[in-house]
Structure 1
């Protein structure tokens, strides 16, 4: 109280009414301060840690989302907590996506169940029941598990991919509604959750596939034929922008693409052939290619689709006994 600071001197015999007034003023100020309203607080307040579906290098992912609720009420709380993704970027609600630094899109979907049959969408949020006793500052918590899958059949460049869901909600489902709301009123009480950003990340490593589209068949030849040629194709599918180098290795292990064919048992004749690229008179196609160098192989760059590459085989001479001859060539794809 400021009474100790008063230095006014009373004349003898003067009524001391001013002291009483000062005491009343101090009491009034105390009363006003005591009942000044504080900032309103939700009766049930729930929050969640950062939500991040990290696929890593896998095709599927799982995110265990931790939530916490605190009650400030003389009444117990019984409600349904929900987690709803918001507006995806990039992509659309029906086709959310992640993108790399060059803008290449990688599409994925989120689910509420490990069998990946129940989509996670704003209209179909993940839910968990919450029951809390009455109390002031009483806290409880739990988890909501969500699942993800990279859409199959995508061939994209290697690198890091990131996507977001903006306006995502950790909230409540009011009675008679299916919408996940960040705040609802239950009687005279307010339940408050959070709105925020949901992130999805992935890392794609370069992944290429290669297959043979058929045999290189010379058919029936005469012993007088010379300088015969035939061809076939191989199919290569690599992510957009991925450099690759292809080597061909005959069964005899020759790195210059010079192989030999074998006939039936007891036949010692071994017709020799040569593998070539571009044409029947093109460069030899051997097996010195590596992950960083074409060597005597063939180089290419992925388009994200299957690319057909021709292989030519020449047979300089047919001076061998009648029989069926064949060999197996191994295709080595380096990327």
Structure 2
């Protein structure tokens, strides 16, 4: 602050009381300025960037979190920097989750190690040692790597999922403590970090599975039998809300579900059969289904669990020489 130099003529013989008053006022101003509180600044100030666990379409993820620390002290700093997740939303501390636009939950967990055996929790934060020499405005930086895994066995709708950890902390672990704190005091000095939101994101692509639950076996039939029927089931597991269309294709490639069975070598008889849905007299079940159209197949919508769908097979005539006959039907799942 500049000090104005004021001059005034003093007549001879007059006491210099004004000059004394001016000097006293200057001394008083100096004393007041000396004790006027200055803006506080941390002796060690640390910040963080890139706190976002993005799984993408994978089941596991890695986030390399960048941190920087700046020192303002005549003393060196030796401390433990920590990264602690806060309050998850949605989900709970034991089961954090992400959600899509329809509030479907996708659960996941965070870890401190690439082997995914050391959980990352407020009680078990990720840590890194930090040592800085004394200095004013001297900055150093580094990274903390954290890992994530989407809980296995979940079948959810396709789309984007987002979750947050509110009140997450980049801070310090004080001597004798295991808690990650955004600010600590070390002697007469203050170390400050940051509190903020940690985001997790993922994209789930539609993924369906299908399996046969057994053969369609007519068993033993007589040559005089007619309109014999049997059935079996197939199992479909698609994410909730995912539409799917199923086609059936006999080995002869017939798109209308009309197949033939073959007997043993030397037997030229080929009993014909028909694939059907709903019942033994229901609609034919062929193979014209696509990703967007049911055609002559069967349509369904994923429930997130295994759904059993019945397949019926009819044999109009059994007037063939005695033998064991069979065929293979390919199940095509379109979604």
Q: Counterpart of 1:3 in 2: which secondary structure? A: coil
Could you tell me how far 1:37 is from its partner in structure 2? 3.1
- Indicate if the aligned counterparts of 2:50 and 2:64 stay in contact, CA closer than 8 A: no
Change in Cα spacing, 1:200 to 1:3, as seen in structure 2 (3 Å) is closer
* 5+ residue gaps, structure 2: none
- Range that drifts further, 251-260 or 319-328: 319-328
| Deviation for aligned residue 1:25 | 4.5
Q: Comparing 5-14 with 154-163, which one deviates more in the overlay?
A: 5-14
Q: Indicate how the Cα distance of structure 1 residues 6 and 184 shifts in structure 2: closer, same or farther if over 3 A, else same.
A: closer
More moved, 30-39 vs 16-25? 16-25
Q: Distance in 2 between matches of 1:323 and 1:82?
A: 75
Q: Secondary structure at the match of 1:252?
A: coil
Relative to structure 2, which stretch is displaced further, 17-26 or 290-299?
17-26
Equivalenced residues, count: 335
Partner of 2:31: 31
2:16 paired with 1:16? yes
Shift of 1:187: 1.0
Q: Secondary structure at the match of 2:3?
A: helix
Paired residues of 2:211 and 2:235 also in contact (CA < 8 A): yes
Structure-1 separation of matches of 2:95 and 2:241: 24
Match runs of 1:1-335 below 5 Å: 18=18, 25=25, 29=29, 32-33=32-33, 36-335=36-335
TM-score of the aligned structures, taking structure 2 as reference length: 0.93
Query: Matches of 2:4 and 2:134 in 1, distance apart?
Result: 46
Instruction: Tell me if the contact between 2:231 and 2:312 (Cα under 8 Å) persists in the aligned partners.
Output: yes
Deviations 1:122-162 (A, max 9, x none): 11110100111111111110000000000000000111111
Q: Greater shift after overlay, 36-45 or 143-152?
A: 36-45
d(CA) in 1 for partners of 2:171, 2:6: 57
The Cα shift of 1:50 comes to 3.8
Tell whether the 8 Å contact from 1:64 to 1:144 is kept in structure 2 after alignment: yes
1:56-101 per-residue CA deviation (whole Å, 9 max, x = no partner) reads: 1100000000000111111111111111111111111111101111
- Which structure 1 residue ranges, 5 or more long, are not aligned? none
Sort the Cα spacing of 1:185 and 1:16 in 2 relative to 1 into closer, same or farther, 3 A. closer
Instruction: Identify if the C-alpha distance between structure 1 residues 266 and 74 changes in structure 2 by more than 3 Å, giving closer, same or farther.
Output: same
Q: Which runs of 4+ in 1 moved over 4 A?
A: 1-35
Corresponding residue SS for 2:254: coil
Classify 1:130/1:19 alpha carbon distance in 2 versus 1 (closer, same or farther; 3 Å): same
State whether residues 230 and 312 of structure 2, in contact with CA within 8 Å, keep that contact through their aligned partners in structure 1.
Answer: yes
Contact 1:50 1:198 in 2 (8 A): no
1:36 to partner: Cα distance: 3.5
**CA-CA distance at 1:262 after TM superposition:** 1.1
Task: Give the Cα separation in 1 of the matches to 2:323 and 2:153.
Answer: 44
More divergent stretch after superposition (113-122 vs 22-31) = 22-31
For 1:169 and 1:74, how far apart are their aligned partners in 2? 27
Question: Alpha carbon RMSD of aligned pairs, Å?
Answer: 2.4
Q: Contact (CA 8 Å) 2:248, 2:287: kept in 1 or not?
A: yes
Q: Is the 8 A contact 2:84 2:168 kept in 1?
A: yes
